[in-house]
């Protein structure tokens, strides 16, 4: 072929050998046009990979079957947040708190104890819900870096019809940037008060038809005041996008995270201050095939593995019992000690004292495979259907009183359609059917109608029903504590709950979404009713094992009911990408009926009522006075919120919180740099989880560089 002068630039600049090889190999094997070598008409006639496939495109909010809040990159950056959960403060109806510095809690419309489990988080389609033990979302196990996030789409309201039973009250979809859309090198250093020391580094590289991004990072701080919860988290996250051919793409994700953290409470020998270590890692492969512009098939497999080590010993049961007698019964120490020793001899511990080993270690494996088919069957009809299978293997002897693995399997089959009946009417319907080895078939249907008053003003109505599968802990928890030498059972803190049933939600909503383009204004109003039945509660019941110290063992019951009514308003004025003022306002009312017998009834209802903040509101604004400067400030108000407590004095009182950030961008040689100062929680001192655990004020500076 004659040398083409127009194509000479790239080939003359001698790319590295591996690159040339990879380019030519891929191009020749897979028939992609090897454009750099020959220009002329091939650039007009050659094929290109499908980049913005249906799955990559965000659904326009006005066509969504529910209320969706989108947090884009500018907003994520302006928030100054150091972690993902803090971003949800900008979403109407969400509550964010931290039980410990490394244990953030997030819930939608309250109803949560200190282990929220009624919402789902997905990262690039991978469920981050941990149905193993107590909590649903363990945020610290997520490996993604905030700078690698493309956008976060938060679906407010149940979305089990699309994502399964774990999306019981809401879904947070985190979409990371494609590997190709990554700077070659990026580094960030954050340093601040309260022991803040965060580091992050990332590289992006194109190797032939494959784009790769690797991000490593670490975060550490001293957590909350008055709690032993300093932590250090180290993580790595890899994404590879490989365009196999113009219609075939392979996406690989892998990640690992290690948490070394303090936990425990100073004056509780059964939960003493100590260090724990949690390791978590995953690998995911997704193959996408786009046979035509209106059709896409994908097959996704991921494996996730976790390991926790957390052990300690109660050295003297006698001292523990004696201290309790002194505290609760005001006995003289010597008498208390005598009684404790006597009691222990009486229950079969001859030495009159003994120890208890606590070992909360666990190992978890999850395998998940899913097939999905998106098809524009007609111009006015789009269908997504698919099926999946998941297996969780849990090994946690202390939690389940068994040495073998507990298998938790589930299968799912789902279908959703989007029908543009006319220019104005759009109907969304969907259904998800799930079953598993511990539950019957659960069916979650939804129907939504969107009516476009004009292209920019939409009214929406939707009804849906969903069921939340109990977690392994809710069903199988069996925690027994024995004296180490004699084996005498001292306490069973949880006993299995074979009768626990899936919680059920029936939700209906009316929504309005308007964009007043002339004023750069958007308005999102949602009015809803969410009726939840079979709401789980915990109650002590006589233990069949007759433990020596406490005859009762806690059990889960599915007899509560709660009805939430309320409205959410989000108004955003955004004349430019980097300049905006947003206002969120949420009102919630709850009507609780616990189903518990006797005096407990009112207590459980109180827990439910306290868990729902009546009013919350946010104002957030960002302003870029020039290309180089940006300022942002957020002011939140959150009504009183309890996280699983019936005690008004312990619930976090209503609070105001102010976060702000100032950043300046500048060029440093070939690199672009940004220096930012941020203050999280700059307002009054307050608590967000428990009135005894104030949220610290944190000021930090961060420098990021990319080129």
Partner 1 sequence: MTLGLRAALCLLWLLLAPASAGAEGVPADARVLLVTSAQSGAYAETVAAIRAALGPAVVAADILAVDWQALPDETLHAPRIIVTVGTQAAQAVAERSPRPPVLHTLVPHQTWERLAPQGANGRASAIFLDQPVERQLALIAEALPEWRRLALIASPRSEPLAAQLAAGAQLRRWTVTLESVTSDRDLYPALQRVLAAPAVLLALPDSTVFNSYTIQNVLLTAYRHQSPVIGFSPAYVRAGALLALYSTPSQIGAQAAAAVRTVLEGGALPAPAWPRQFEIGINQNVARSLGITLDPAEQIAARLARRERGP
Q: Which of 20, 24, 49, 248 binds partner 1 (CB under 8 A)?
A: 49
CB nearer partner 1, residue 4 or residue 28: 4
Give 425-429 contacts, CB < 8 A, sequence gap 24+.
425/449, 425/450, 425/451, 425/452, 426/63, 426/450, 426/451, 426/452, 428/63, 428/64, 428/65, 428/462
Window 596-655: residues binding partner 1 (CB under 8 A): 627
Window 199-238: residues binding partner 1 (CB under 8 A): 204, 206, 208-209, 211
Interface with partner 1 by CB under 8 A: which range of 52-60, 227-235, 307-315, 356-364? 52-60
Q: Which of 20, 24, 39, 531 binds partner 1 (CB under 8 A)?
A: 39
Shortest distance, CB of residue 38 to partner 1, whole angstroms? 8
Give me Rg for the CA atoms of the chain: 28
CB nearer partner 1, residue 455 or residue 597: 455
Told to check if 345 binds partner 1 by CB under 8 A, we report no
Told to check if 54 binds partner 1 by CB under 8 A, we report yes
Q: Which of 21, 25, 29, 43 binds partner 1 (CB under 8 A)?
A: 43
HSE value, Cβ hemisphere, 13 Å, CA-based, for 430: 29
Window 275-334: residues binding partner 1 (CB under 8 A): 293
Interface with partner 1 by CB under 8 A: which range of 56-64, 98-106, 193-201, 648-656? 56-64
Q: Which of 70, 114, 124, 183 binds partner 1 (CB under 8 A)?
A: 183
> What values do phi and psi take at 158, rounded to 5?
-65, 140
Phi-psi region of 110 (alpha: psi -120 to 50; beta: other; left: phi over 0): left
Told to check if 178 binds partner 1 by CB under 8 A, we report yes
> Is 430 in contact with 161 (CB distance < 8 Å)?
yes
Told to check if 55 binds partner 1 by CB under 8 A, we report no
Binding-residue pattern over the window 57 to 96 for partner 1, x denoting contact by CB under 8 A:
xxxx--x--------xx-----------------------
CB nearer partner 1, residue 296 or residue 659: 296
Binding-residue pattern over the window 415 to 454 for partner 1, x denoting contact by CB under 8 A:
----------------------------------------
CB nearer partner 1, residue 40 or residue 550: 40
Count of beta carbons in the 10 Å neighbourhood of residue 483: 22
Q: Which of 79, 173, 243, 410 binds partner 1 (CB under 8 A)?
A: 243
CB nearer partner 1, residue 181 or residue 440: 181
Q: And the tokens for 137?
A: 């979302």
Q: Which of 47, 359, 440, 628 binds partner 1 (CB under 8 A)?
A: 47
Give the C-alpha separation, 393 to 409, whole Å: 9
Shortest distance, CB of residue 1 to partner 1, whole angstroms? 7
Told to check if 658 binds partner 1 by CB under 8 A, we report no
The residue assigned the tokens 């518990």 is: 596
Distances from the Cα of 225 to the Cαs of 19, 30, 86, 691, in angstroms?
A: 52, 58, 18, 11
> Is 145 in contact with 215 (CB distance < 8 Å)?
yes
Give the C-alpha separation, 296 to 374, whole Å: 5
Shortest distance, CB of residue 620 to partner 1, whole angstroms? 20
CB nearer partner 1, residue 365 or residue 672: 672
Number of residues binding to partner 1, judged by CB under 8 A = 64
> Is 435 in contact with 453 (CB distance < 8 Å)?
no
Shortest distance, CB of residue 670 to partner 1, whole angstroms? 9
Binding-residue pattern over the window 559 to 598 for partner 1, x denoting contact by CB under 8 A:
-----------------xx---------------------
Give the C-alpha separation, 496 to 119, whole Å: 24
**For 454-502, where are the alpha helices, taking DSSP H only?**
472-476
CB nearer partner 1, residue 290 or residue 533: 290
Q: Which of 20, 24, 35, 316 binds partner 1 (CB under 8 A)?
A: 35
Interface with partner 1 by CB under 8 A: which range of 45-53, 166-174, 279-287, 693-701? 45-53
Interface with partner 1 by CB under 8 A: which range of 41-49, 395-403, 407-415, 602-610? 41-49
Spacing of C-alpha 130 from chain mean position: 10
Nearest to 434 by CA among 333, 502, 500, 363: 502
Nearest to 117 by CA among 474, 444, 476, 440: 474
Interface with partner 1 by CB under 8 A: which range of 5-13, 107-115, 132-140, 654-662? 5-13
* All residues at 6 or more sequence positions from 229 whose CB lies less than 8 Å from its CB, including other chains: 100, 101, 102, 103, 222, 223, 261, 262, 263
Shortest distance, CB of residue 448 to partner 1, whole angstroms? 17
* All residues at 6 or more sequence positions from 664 whose CB lies less than 8 Å from its CB, including other chains: 628, 629, 674, 675, 676
CB nearer partner 1, residue 338 or residue 451: 451
Q: Are strands 615-623 and 489-494 parallel, antiparallel or unpaired?
A: unpaired
CB nearer partner 1, residue 435 or residue 706: 706
* All residues at 6 or more sequence positions from 669 whose CB lies less than 8 Å from its CB, including other chains: none
Shortest distance, CB of residue 33 to partner 1, whole angstroms? 6
Q: Are strands 210-221 and 479-482 parallel, antiparallel or unpaired?
A: unpaired
> What values do phi and psi take at 642, rounded to 5?
-105, 140
Count of beta carbons in the 10 Å neighbourhood of residue 432: 25
Shortest distance, CB of residue 356 to partner 1, whole angstroms? 55
**For 225-332, where are the alpha helices, taking DSSP H only?**
317-329
CB nearer partner 1, residue 253 or residue 258: 253
Q: Which of 348, 455, 487, 498 binds partner 1 (CB under 8 A)?
A: 455
Q: Which of 17, 52, 334, 518 binds partner 1 (CB under 8 A)?
A: 52
Told to check if 181 binds partner 1 by CB under 8 A, we report yes
Binding-residue pattern over the window 150 to 169 for partner 1, x denoting contact by CB under 8 A:
xx------------------
| DSSP bridge partners of 624 | none
**For 105-258, where are the alpha helices, taking DSSP H only?**
160-163
Phi-psi region of 546 (alpha: psi -120 to 50; beta: other; left: phi over 0): left
HSE value, Cβ hemisphere, 13 Å, CA-based, for 315: 1
Interface with partner 1 by CB under 8 A: which range of 27-35, 320-328, 478-486, 636-644? 27-35
Q: Which residues bind partner 1 (CB under 8 A)?
A: 1-2, 4-7, 9-10, 13, 23, 32-36, 38-54, 56-60, 63, 72-73, 150-151, 177-178, 180-184, 204, 206, 208-209, 211, 241, 243, 246, 293, 455, 576-577, 627, 672, 707
């Amino acid at each position: 072929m004659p040398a083409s002068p127009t194509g000479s630039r790239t080939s003359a600049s001698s790319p590295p050998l591996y690159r040339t090889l990879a380019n030519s190999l891929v191009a020749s094997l897979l028939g992609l046009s090897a454009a750099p070598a020959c220009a002329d008409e091939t650039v007009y006639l050659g094929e290109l990979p499908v980049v913005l496939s249906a799955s990559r495109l965000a659904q326009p909010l006005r066509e969504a079957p529910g209320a969706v809040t989108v947090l884009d990159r500018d907003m994520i950056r302006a928030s100054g947040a150091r972690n993902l959960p803090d971003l949800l403060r900008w979403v109407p109806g969400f509550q964010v708190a931290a039980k410990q510095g490394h244990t953030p809690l997030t819930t939608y419309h309250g109803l949560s104890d200190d282990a929220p489990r009624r919402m789902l988080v997905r990262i690039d389609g991978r469920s981050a819900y941990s149905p193993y033990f107590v909590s649903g979302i363990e945020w610290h196990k997520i490996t993604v870096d905030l700078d690698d996030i493309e956008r976060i789409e938060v679906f407010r309201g149940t979305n089990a019809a699309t994502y399964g039973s774990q999306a019981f009250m809401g879904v947070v979809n985190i979409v990371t940037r494609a590997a190709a859309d990554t700077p070659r090198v990026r580094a960030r250093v954050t340093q601040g008060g309260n022991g803040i020391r965060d580091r992050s580094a990332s590289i992006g590289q194109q190797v032939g038809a494959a784009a790769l991004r690797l991000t490593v990072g670490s975060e550490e701080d001293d957590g909350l005041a008055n709690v032993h919860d300093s932590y250090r988290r180290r993580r790595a996250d890899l994404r590879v996008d490989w365009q196999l051919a113009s219609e075939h793409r392979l996406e690989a994700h892998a990640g690992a995270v290690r948490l070394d953290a303090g936990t425990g409470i100073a004056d509780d020998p059964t939960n003493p201050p100590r260090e724990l270590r949690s390791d978590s890692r995953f690998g995911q492969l997704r193959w996408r095939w786009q046979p035509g512009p209106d059709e896409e098939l994908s097959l996704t497999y991921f494996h996730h593995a976790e390991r926790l080590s957390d052990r300690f010993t109660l050295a003297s049961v006698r001292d523990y019992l004696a201290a309790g007698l002194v505290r609760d019964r005001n006995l003289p120490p010597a008498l208390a000690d005598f009684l404790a020793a006597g009691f222990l001899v009486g229950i079969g511990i001859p030495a009159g004292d003994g120890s208890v080993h606590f070992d909360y270690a666990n190992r978890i494996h999850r395998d998940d495979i899913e097939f999905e088919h998106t098809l524009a069957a007609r111009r006015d009809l789009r269908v997504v259907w698919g099926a999946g299978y998941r297996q969780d293997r849990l090994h946690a002897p202390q939690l389940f009183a068994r040495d073998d693995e507990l298998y938790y399997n589930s299968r799912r089959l789902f279908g959703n359609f989007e029908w543009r009946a006319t220019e104005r009417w759009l109907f969304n319907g969907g259904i998800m059917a799930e079953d598993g080895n511990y539950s019957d078939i659960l069916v979650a249907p939804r129907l939504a109608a969107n009516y476009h008053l004009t292209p920019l003003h939409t009214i929406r109505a939707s009804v849906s029903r969903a069921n939340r599968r109990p977690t392994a802990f809710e069903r199988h928890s069996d925690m027994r504590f024995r004296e180490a030498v004699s084996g005498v059972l001292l306490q069973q803190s949880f006993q299995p709950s074979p009768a626990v049933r899936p919680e059920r939600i029936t939700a209906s909503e009316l929504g309005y979404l308007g964009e007043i383009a002339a004023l750069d204004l958007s308005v999102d109003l949602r009015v809803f009713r969410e009726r939840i039945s079979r709401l789980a509660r915990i109650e002590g019941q006589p233990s069949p094992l007759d433990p020596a110290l406490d005859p009762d063992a806690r059990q889960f019951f599915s007899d509560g009911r709660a009805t939430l009514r309320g409205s959410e308003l989000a108004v955003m004025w955004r004349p430019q990408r980097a300049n905006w003022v947003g206002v969120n306002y949420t009102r919630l009312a709850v009507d609780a009926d616990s189903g518990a017998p006797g005096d407990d009834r009112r207590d459980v209802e109180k827990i439910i009522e306290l868990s729902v903040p009546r009013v919350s509101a946010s104002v957030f604004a960002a302003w870029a006075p020039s290309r180089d400067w940006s300022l942002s400030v957020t002011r939140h108000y959150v009504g009183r919120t309890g996280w699983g407590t019936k005690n008004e004095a312990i619930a976090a009182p209503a609070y105001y919180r102010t976060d702000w950030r100032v950043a300046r961008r500048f060029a440093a040689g070939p690199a672009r740099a940004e220096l930012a100062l941020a203050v999280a929680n700059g307002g009054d001192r307050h608590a967000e989880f428990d009135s005894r655990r104030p949220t610290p004020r944190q000021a930090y500076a961060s420098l990021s560089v990319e080129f």
